[in-house]
């Protein structure tokens, strides 16, 4: 029986005082009986939480009442057991570390492409203007090893902050192609897409909502394996159910 509701979401938005927000979100999530992690920074919020459905819905309702988070979409999946051991709310310098302060998604997102369009492009082998399509995995190497899109570019990153240097080393390989950057839930591929556009690549998109949203809307088409997630489920299959366990290397 899958009675635990899992949610993942993020938003790049200016938070002037993330430390003050930390206290209110910690109390709110605790009061709703949730476990998981909430990351806060001046650039926004990123969270992975789980609990009884009514507690999760209550948390999201209060979160959405804050104008900064109105309309924030949380991706959902279900599990039989609570996949998190405790609740953590942390204030960080970045909600996803890239070490490039000039990249500020809150000032304007890179264009996003929905799952059905990506699936159609991959079906036909090119975008709607005839350019070849490249899927670019922005996740860490051990995550990629659990599963990725067929033929995806994988630069074997050990951490996301390596992405800018990897792009500079391989930029010429992406010239003239339509690049779809993707990650688990959208946060890394959004920063990556902005960086690639600022680096001079003209035809770059982010997969809206990442792999998890793709699974919701397009199933497992063109994807091989499972999607690694940072909780005790370890990885989800295209039906958003725990897949075959494959332990990541020790840190």
For the annotated catalytic residues, the residue numbers are 183
Pairwise CA distance, residues 129 & 106, whole Å = 29
Helices 18-31, 53-65: inter-axial angle, 10-degree rounding: 150
Cα distances (Å, whole numbers) of residue 84 to 33, 49, 88: 12, 8, 10
The enclosing H or E element of 36 equals: strand 35-41
Please state the φ and ψ torsions of residue 126, each to the nearest 5 degrees: -165, 165
- What would the two tokens of residue 230 be? 């940072």
Residues facing residue 207 across a β-bridge: 113
Pairwise CA distance, residues 12 & 245, whole Å = 32
Alpha-carbon Rg for the chain in angstroms = 18
């Amino acid at each position: 029986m899958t009675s635990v509701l899992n949610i993942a979401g993020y938003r790049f938005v200016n938070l002037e005082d993330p430390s003050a927000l930390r206290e209110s979100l910690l109390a709110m999530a605790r009061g709703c009986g949730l476990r998981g992690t909430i990351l806060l920074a001046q650039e926004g919020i990123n969270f992975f939480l789980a609990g009884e459905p009514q507690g999760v819905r209550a948390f999201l309702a209060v979160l959405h009442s804050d104008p900064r988070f109105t309309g924030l979409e949380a991706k959902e999946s279900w599990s039989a057991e609570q996949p998190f051991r405790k609740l953590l709310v942390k204030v960080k310098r970045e909600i996803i570390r890239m070490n490039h302060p000039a990249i500020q998604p809150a000032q304007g997102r890179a264009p996003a492409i929905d799952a059905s369009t990506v699936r159609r492009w991959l079906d036909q082998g090119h975008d709607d203007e005839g350019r070849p399509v490249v899927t670019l995995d922005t996740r860490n190497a051990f995550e990629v090893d659990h599963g990725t899109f067929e033929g995806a570019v994988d630069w074997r990153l050990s951490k996301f902050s390596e992405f800018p240097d990897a792009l500079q080393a391989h930029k010429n390989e992406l010239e003239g192609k339509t690049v779809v950057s993707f990650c688990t839930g959208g946060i890394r591929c959004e920063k990556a897409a902005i960086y690639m556009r600022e680096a001079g690549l003209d035809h770059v998109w982010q997969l809206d909502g990442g792999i998890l949203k793709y699974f919701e809307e397009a199933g497992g088409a063109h994807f091989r394996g499972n999607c690694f997630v940072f909780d005790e489920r370890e990885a989800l299959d295209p039906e958003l159910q725990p897949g075959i366990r494959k332990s990541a290397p020790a840190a």
